[in-house]
Structure 1
Amino acid sequence: MEGEELRRSEADTIDLLNQFERILESDPQIDEVGFLHPSQFSKLNKEAGHSSPSSDDNTVLRSADGNSVFWNRDHKLGISTQVLFPLYEAAKHAFMAASRQYKALNSKSDVFGDEKSLYVSLSLDNSFESDVMKHSWALLLLTSDFGTAWHSRYSPFSFSVQ
């Protein structure tokens, strides 16, 4: 039973990260990020003119257990303090995995291979580079002092995974 709960928890955390990254992709003009106590979500809705959580027109996004975890409106993003640590852990894990895959692909790329394998290699390279950028963005919004993530965004061809 404990293993099943752990897998469900990991799946919920991955879903949480995916939801967070979808918010970032859907609103690239987010100019403010704040970490909120869960009790603050209802106050934000009232200030935004919503009387109940059900009428919030996707301003408040909820986790699988029904708790409010994100608030997004007018390029402002609020993240519940209850999900900060699991969200950070998921973002860090996803970033590090994508970084390792990207680095491994670049170190093994065969420039002298046939045209088809070179095309597949370049396609995978772009996919992993995109994943590195997406996950580093999420990670840096949660903690701005993660040097490897900063370096990967500065020059995706020169970062190192530690």
Structure 2
Amino acid sequence: MKLQQQESAVEQQQGGEEKLPENLLLYFEQILHDDPLIDEVGFLHPTQFCSLDCARDGDSASQSTEFHCARYFWCRDHKLAISAEILPELYHAARDAYYNARDAPLSRTNLMRHTKALLILCPDLLTAWNSRKMVLSALYDFTKLKDELQLCALILSYSPKNESTWSHRRWVIKQVAEQHQDMLELIGNESILVKEIAEKSKMNYRAWRHRCWLIPYMTRKQVLDELNESTRWSELHVADNCCFHYRRSLLLALLDNFFGNEEDSLSWESDICLLWKEELRWDEMLIKRYQGREV
């Protein structure tokens, strides 16, 4: 009798281990659903993860979830930590769930949940990004598009040079621009995001290229403000030529705006000339100050 009980216990334990990746994925997706404002993700070595003492805090998600799931995740103040120990199993579970959701007649909600989890683990999967585009294109929803920008910002916080994420972010902005004439606030937030990423990720060509891509959506005042605000940043990061390319794009945009607008006055033409002359004087000053740099 005791032998049968022991065998039954072993079988239950083995069955639980087989379902562990699926349970981890469900737990991971529940965390993302419960806290849509997560803005930072960290993948920690098990020794680092243990120092968080997540079992005692119990702040990852529902207390009713099994302990063996909670021991791999920690979430507080919109910051999420995942133990690197379970990343391979979690990735494979997320990938399988996505493929099943894509090929089966499941709800779009499930498809979005699975792709979100999968892209956080591996943001280079273009098919997953395209699946999200397909769902978002079916019906315009500004709230969902804002959530999509939040997801992109989350991924860029730990993978700031991921081209797939930057490309998807531009697609989302295009969708918003087709429906909204006033892009002032959105473009301002984009500029702040790129500036923060550029501070953490030096020589990030993709981030600055995204900022250049935003220029046609800017008002004249925003272009002038961007030109003024980038002056100090360029002086502090003279070796990062990305910002100088950005300033060139801003100056060219002001010229294009002038020649494309017949209502511009002579005073505005004079202002543009002064801007270009001031830029040349400023460049000359930087060249003399930082000899050997490609200003």
Q: 1:134 aligns with which of 100, 110, 113?
A: 113
User: Is it true that 1:90 corresponds to 2:93 in the alignment?
Assistant: yes
RCO comparison, higher one (Cα < 8 Å, 6+): 1
8 Å CA contact 1:72–1:78 kept in 2: the answer is yes
8 Å CA contact 1:99–1:128 kept in 2: the answer is no
* C-alpha separation in 2, matches of 1:89 and 1:144: 14
- Aligned letter for 2:17? S
Structure with bigger gyration radius? 2
Task: Give the alignment of 1:1-162 within 5 angstroms.
Answer: 7-45=15-53, 53-54=55-56, 56-59=57-60, 64-65=67-68, 68-102=71-105, 128-156=107-135
Alpha-carbon deviation of 1:95?
0.5
* C-alpha separation in 2, matches of 1:77 and 1:68: 13
Alpha-carbon deviation of 1:68?
2.2
**Residue equivalent to 2:211:** none
Question: Kindly tell me: are residues 66 and 157 of structure 1, through their superposed partners in 2, closer, same or farther at Cα, counting changes over 3 Å?
Answer: closer
Identity value in percent: 40
Listed as ranges, the gaps of 5+ residues in structure 2 are 1-6, 138-295
SS of equivalent to 1:77: strand
Question: Kindly tell me: are residues 146 and 3 of structure 1, through their superposed partners in 2, closer, same or farther at Cα, counting changes over 3 Å?
Answer: farther
* C-alpha separation in 1, matches of 2:14 and 2:92: 14
8 Å CA contact 1:38–1:68 kept in 2: the answer is no
Question: Kindly tell me: are residues 6 and 128 of structure 1, through their superposed partners in 2, closer, same or farther at Cα, counting changes over 3 Å?
Answer: farther
8 Å CA contact 2:55–2:70 kept in 1: the answer is no
Question: Kindly tell me: are residues 5 and 132 of structure 1, through their superposed partners in 2, closer, same or farther at Cα, counting changes over 3 Å?
Answer: same
Alpha-carbon deviation of 1:141?
0.4
Question: Kindly tell me: are residues 9 and 29 of structure 1, through their superposed partners in 2, closer, same or farther at Cα, counting changes over 3 Å?
Answer: same
Structure number having the greater strand percentage = 1
* C-alpha separation in 2, matches of 1:145 and 1:63: 31
Could you report, residue by residue, the CA deviation over 1:111-140 in whole angstroms, capped at 9, with x for unpaired residues? xxxxxxxxxxxxxxxx52111110000000
SS of equivalent to 2:72: strand
Listed as ranges, the gaps of 5+ residues in structure 1 are 46-51, 103-126
Alpha-carbon deviation of 1:12?
1.2
8 Å CA contact 1:30–1:77 kept in 2: the answer is yes
Aligned length: 127
Q: TM-score normalized by structure 1?
A: 0.66
SS of equivalent to 1:144: coil
Question: Kindly tell me: are residues 32 and 67 of structure 1, through their superposed partners in 2, closer, same or farther at Cα, counting changes over 3 Å?
Answer: closer
Question: Kindly tell me: are residues 9 and 42 of structure 1, through their superposed partners in 2, closer, same or farther at Cα, counting changes over 3 Å?
Answer: closer
Alpha-carbon deviation of 1:41?
2.6
8 Å CA contact 1:16–1:63 kept in 2: the answer is no
8 Å CA contact 1:12–1:64 kept in 2: the answer is no
SS of equivalent to 1:44: coil
SS of equivalent to 2:135: coil
